[in-house]
Copies of this chain bind each other. A is one copy, B any other.
């Protein structure tokens, strides 16, 4: 059981598009949309190549961790004029968001031009490769919900813990209305900032709501305590501490501080990668708490694992086409045959990265809380 998640995580490290195109690079490079204000580099072009430019006049070597497809192969920069090191990826990168860092003379730093995002248990540089379908997570002139930081007391861990709560645009306008809630988990190495920063989940929600495609709901994102699990030690990851925080502390806090519909039929849990592992385990352990389950590149459910079919309203399972789509599809086929309302989704051309999870979320949201 736990072995499958180790495979999922390792696959994030080794996947690669495997394409060496040899195509002519089109010189229409523009600054990445997640650069720091006013920064010209890194840049991306219409084919998905990324170009880097970093100042380090006295350095001996500068290597960017991103390579072809988005893999951790690396792009070695070349020293040019005025102490700037430049270089372009060997081929197009996968659409969407990628984490990266820069190795300067053997030390690991972030690109001074890029914004930072929490991944790999540190704040890393991020770059955004324009996607053909980027409109669904674009910032548009539609009514916007708010993302707020909350600090909730946790007796079991003896500290105040942080969560982010997305409330839809209608939340502040309709003061007597109550809303369903999705508890949404990040992956290993990430934290509670991931879904709204690199996932853009608030913008996906705002756009879906503006288009009338979903019933508005609240989203709660907290730290899944996953970063204790290092490679090779995932078998030692225990669900109980996080399960206690989520079930006994966070949910009661949210239900008493936000206008939620506080019952099982209006409460969902979803997670990506290791957050999927947590979702799988906790939803099975606590069938009276959640009715809608979703695993995004985070494993599968087997029909025999679920005790009470009548209380399970939806099972959603997804991954990128560069992961293991057959496994996802076969699992959903089995669930359907067993009578579950199960849906699969495969993101074309993406791997174990946030573009897969943004797209998965867009497919998932309209299926939640339909009755």
Contacts from A to B (Cβ < 8 Å): 36-38, 54-61, 83, 102, 104-110, 112, 115-116, 121-123, 139, 141, 144, 146-151, 153, 160, 165, 172-173, 175, 191, 227, 257-258
Whether A160 and B141, one on each chain, are in contact in the complex, defined by CB atoms closer than 8 angstroms, is yes
> With a CB–CB cut-off of 8 A, which chain B residues contact A36?
122-123
Bound form: Cα–Cα A141–B153 in Å: 7
- Known contacts A38-B121, A56-B106, A104-B105; is-contact A151 B139 (Cβ 8 Å): yes
Q: Residue among A108, A139, A149, A150 with the most chain B CB within 10 A?
A: A149
Whether A109 and B106, one on each chain, are in contact in the complex, defined by CB atoms closer than 8 angstroms, is no
Nearest CB of chain B from residue A317's CB, rounded to whole Å: 30
> With a CB–CB cut-off of 8 A, which chain B residues contact A150?
144, 146
Bound form: Cα–Cα A148–B164 in Å: 9
> With a CB–CB cut-off of 8 A, which chain B residues contact A60?
58, 60, 105
Nearest CB of chain B from residue A163's CB, rounded to whole Å: 10
Nearest CB of chain B from residue A62's CB, rounded to whole Å: 8
| Contact residue among B83, B107, B153 (Cβ-Cβ distance under 8 Å from A83) | B107
Nearest CB of chain B from residue A64's CB, rounded to whole Å: 13
15 interchain pairs, CB-CB under 8 A: A36-B122, A55-B108, A57-B105, A58-B61, A58-B106, A60-B105, A104-B104, A105-B105, A107-B112, A109-B109, A116-B116, A116-B123, A139-B151, A147-B149, A148-B149
